[in-house]
Amino acid sequence: MKPIYVTIIEDHDDFREGLNHVLQFTEGFSCVDAFYSVEEALPRLQDSDVILLDIHLPGRSGIESIGSIKQKLPTSKIIMLTVFDDDDHVFKAIMAGADGYILKKTPPAQVLTAIQDAAQGGTPMTPYVARKVLDLFKKYAPTPSKEHDLTERELEILGQLVQGLDTIELAEKLFISRETVRNHIKHIYEKLHVHSRSQAVAKALKEGIA
Amino acid sequence: MKPIYVTIIEDHDDFREGLNHVLQFTEGFSCVDAFYSVEEALPRLQDSDVILLDIHLPGRSGIESIGSIKQKLPTSKIIMLTVFDDDDHVFKAIMAGADGYILKKTPPAQVLTAIQDAAQGGTPMTPYVARKVLDLFKKYAPTPSKEHDLTERELEILGQLVQGLDTIELAEKLFISRETVRNHIKHIYEKLHVHSRSQAVAKALKEGIA
DNA sequence: GACAAAATGACTCAAACGGGTTATAGAAAA
DNA sequence: TTTTCTATAACCCGTTTGAGTCATTTTGTC
């Protein structure tokens, strides 16, 4: 069976070489390269199944480099290595499209499992990091509150309001009179208990209606 | 050392009893109770470190029950058991405050690890589920795009627009003339490249400006 | 002190908006 | 069958808004 090809980018020599050895001597894994910085790695990057990337690196940080690496090797999965959890960094790494987040203190056996998980399309996460991610998630996700009770048509129109259309544009887009549009909007206001377009738009976005 | 006390709520007999036995015969774990439904469990729930809760249950579903269980046992950690990933259910479970999500096909050894992780405040997640969560996250999180270049005052006013204030309310709140407010708003429009309040509000919310 | 940004304020004007009321046709529910 | 709900449409009225131009003061920087 083909081994999983792994590239390491990590400035801490001991950790990098330790990982390197584990990978070399474990059946089913193969370490393609091991770099100490992104600057060194980028021009020489070879196709890998998984890239282990330190989140804190001298020079270009791991987070900033996710994009460049993904561009060069679009199919490779990137697992971030972090020393401790840092809400802001975790958030940025997620948005940049990393495929896993594990603490450096994770025992080698679990690192190997994580590499396998990532190679298979999962997103391995240290439970401690996962907790941070979910807390962030709850903070940012829309909180669908009460029933809005909007009809199909009203939802459609609210959606267009969020897109920024005005009454006339909406009327033309839906092939109805502007008066009808105004009527629907009035009903939306009543049902959402708001009194202006911007309030309706804000409510729609905050509660994930549109 | 005190064992980790676990309660199981799962309608599938084989799975429930299997887990029960594993917990009984593993050092460091103790199964407090094993129920086949939330209705049966709720009145008889005893304090536990971790509760394993099936996401699909006859009668009251696991998700709907998270709230009731958390209310009765606020310090217990709840790990959801899922057969397959279902974006919508995972999302709801997260918002309801579950502390872990693992697939039922997870091998017993890893279930035990997950129980330990949850007991220690982490959020163990099967990598496959974690992938779904992160995809959802990216979908809902604001995507800070370009520079908006707004001044302090303009940001303040944009924030109030998002809250739904109209020009006059804003003027009164900030102790300035309504004409000044309108001027600021005009500048905001120019900088955000929009032409109406609702567009400005939508942009502010989508890009996390306000 | 000179200069550039901000913040403040005022004026105009047409267009859009929010709030009412009313009406009709068709679909769905009672 | 009658009633309710939905989508459609029109009209009125007063207010707000968006866009433009201009002016003053404050603030920060060179």
Whether A128 sits inside 8 A of B114 (CB atoms) is no
Report the distance from CA of residue B41 to the C1' of nucleotide D14 in Å, as an integer. Answer: 62
How high is the pLDDT of residue B50? Answer: 95
Co-location of A9 and A102 in the same domain: yes
Whether B125 sits inside 8 A of A121 (CB atoms) is no
Chain A hits for B166, Cβ within 8 Å:
196
Report pLDDT digits (tens) over B31-59.
999 999 889 888 998 899 999 999 888 77
The C-alpha atoms of residue B80 and residue B102 are separated, in whole angstroms, by 6
Q: Which of residues 35-94 of A touch B (CB under 8 A)?
A: 91, 94
Chain B hits for A202, Cβ within 8 Å:
162-164, 201, 205
Is B147 domain-assigned?
no
Is B134 domain-assigned?
yes
How high is the pLDDT of residue A59? Answer: 76
Chain B hits for A79, Cβ within 8 Å:
none
How high is the pLDDT of residue B139? Answer: 77
Mean pLDDT score of chain A = 89
We report the CATH number of the domain holding residue B201 as: 1.10.10.10
Domain limit, last residue, from A140, A161, A178: A140
Is B145 domain-assigned?
no
Q: Which of A85, A90, A134 to mutate to test the interface with B (most CBs of B within 10 A)?
A: A134
The C-alpha atoms of residue B133 and residue A98 are separated, in whole angstroms, by 13
Co-location of B127 and B156 in the same domain: no
Q: Give the minimum alpha-carbon distance from B185 to chain A in angstroms, rounded to a whole number.
A: 13
We report the CATH number of the domain holding residue B115 as: 3.40.50.2300
Higher pLDDT pick, B1 / B98: B98
Which string of DSSP letters, residue by residue, matches B3-47? PEEEEEE-S-HHHHHHHHHHHHTSTTEEEEEEES-HHHHGGG---
How high is the pLDDT of residue B145? Answer: 67
Of A90-94, A195-199, B27-31, B169-173, least confident by mean pLDDT is A90-94
How high is the pLDDT of residue A95? Answer: 81
Co-location of B89 and B166 in the same domain: no
Domains in chain B: how many in total? 2
The C-alpha atoms of residue B37 and residue B42 are separated, in whole angstroms, by 9
Q: Given pLDDT bands bounded at 50, 70 and 90, which one contains residue A210?
A: low
Nearest Cβ partner for A202 among B120, B142, B162:
B162
The C-alpha atoms of residue A198 and residue B139 are separated, in whole angstroms, by 22
Q: Is the pLDDT reported for residue B175 higher than 70?
A: yes
- Structural domain boundaries enclosing B162: 152-206
- Tell me the three-class secondary structure of chain A, residue by residue: CCCEEEEEECCCHHHHHHHHHHHHCCCCEEEEEEECCHHHHHHHCCCCCEEEEECCCCCCCHHHHHHHHHHHCCCCEEEEEECCCCHHHHHHHHHHCCCEEEECCCCHHHHHHHHHHHHCCCCCECHHHHHHHHHHHHHHCCCCCCCCCCCHHHHHHHHHHHHCCCHHHHHHHHCCCHHHHHHHHHHHHHHHCCCCHHHHHHHHHHCCCC
Domain limit, last residue, from A140, A160, A195: A140
Q: Give the minimum alpha-carbon distance from A117 to chain B in angstroms, rounded to a whole number.
A: 6
Q: Given pLDDT bands bounded at 50, 70 and 90, which one contains residue A78?
A: very high
Q: Given pLDDT bands bounded at 50, 70 and 90, which one contains residue A51?
A: very high
Q: Is the pLDDT reported for residue B106 higher than 90?
A: no
Nearest Cα neighbor of B130 from B98, B100, B104 is B100
Domain limit, last residue, from A140, A174, A190: A140
Co-location of A114 and A54 in the same domain: yes
Q: Is the pLDDT reported for residue B88 higher than 80?
A: no
Co-location of A88 and A131 in the same domain: yes
Report the distance from CA of residue B189 to the C1' of nucleotide C4 in Å, as an integer. Answer: 22
Q: Is B167 on the interface with A (CB under 8 A)?
A: no
The C-alpha atoms of residue A83 and residue A187 are separated, in whole angstroms, by 53
Co-location of B111 and B61 in the same domain: yes
Cα→Cα distances A62→A80, A85, A172, B131, Å: 8, 15, 48, 20
How high is the pLDDT of residue B135? Answer: 83
How high is the pLDDT of residue B56? Answer: 83
The C-alpha atoms of residue A92 and residue A80 are separated, in whole angstroms, by 11
Whether A122 sits inside 8 A of B130 (CB atoms) is yes
Report the distance from CA of residue A180 to the C1' of nucleotide D4 in Å, as an integer. Answer: 20
Closest residue on chain B to A114 (Cα): B127
Chain B hits for A94, Cβ within 8 Å:
134, 137-138, 141
Q: Is B158 on the interface with A (CB under 8 A)?
A: no
First to last CA, chain A: 48
Is A29 domain-assigned?
yes
